[in-house]
Structure 1
């Protein structure tokens, strides 16, 4: 009887161990305002925070121009 109770308890613990109701954190939009270090630190989920920080580090901060220069044609 005692073995069956231990076995039943172990099975129940194994079944319930992977259950949680937490939804993955939503990653905010990557822009200059949200990519500030204090905003990044406010993201609670570590994996989401690291993924967002990586996306912020790869964003382009150079604005496109209407007439880009070809540096091979620039004369000194």
Structure 2
């Protein structure tokens, strides 16, 4: 019974080391600035990360004086 505890401790340590080494790549490119040139569809298509592309496209749609958010509704 006492010989299993050191083996479990070693196994737990190895699992923690294994999972901490498998972190995602954190070196992502920064999003370009929101302007007329960068908001063209050709330049939007060059952003590889889908989430970043959608976030940037959303920012492009909301820029300028033409964007008016919907009024807040109280239900």
Q: Where does structure 2 lack aligned partners over 5 or more consecutive residues?
A: 1-6, 67-75
Q: Once superposed, which parts of structure 1, at least 4 consecutive aligned residues long, lie more than 4 Å away?
A: 2-9
Highest RCO, 1 vs 2 (Cα 8 Å, sep ≥ 6): 1
In the alignment, the residues of structure 2 paired with residue 19 and residue 31 of structure 1 have an alpha-carbon distance, to the nearest angstrom, of 30
Structure-1 residue corresponding to 2:49:
45
Match of 2:58 among 51, 54, 59: 54
Q: Alignment RMSD, CA only? A: 2.6
The answer to whether the Cα contact below 8 Å between 1:25 and 1:45 also exists between their aligned partners in 2 is: no
Q: Residues 38 and 61 of structure 1: is their aligned pair in 2 closer, same or farther, counting only changes over 3 Å? A: farther
Structure-2 residue corresponding to 1:14:
19
Q: Which structure dedicates a bigger proportion of its chain to helix? A: 2
Whichever of the two has the greater Rg, that structure is: 1
Q: Where does structure 1 lack aligned partners over 5 or more consecutive residues?
A: 63-76
Normalised TM-score (structure 2): 0.57
Report how far residue 57 of structure 1 moved: 0.6
Report how far residue 4 of structure 1 moved: 7.3
Q: Secondary structure at the match of 1:27?
A: coil
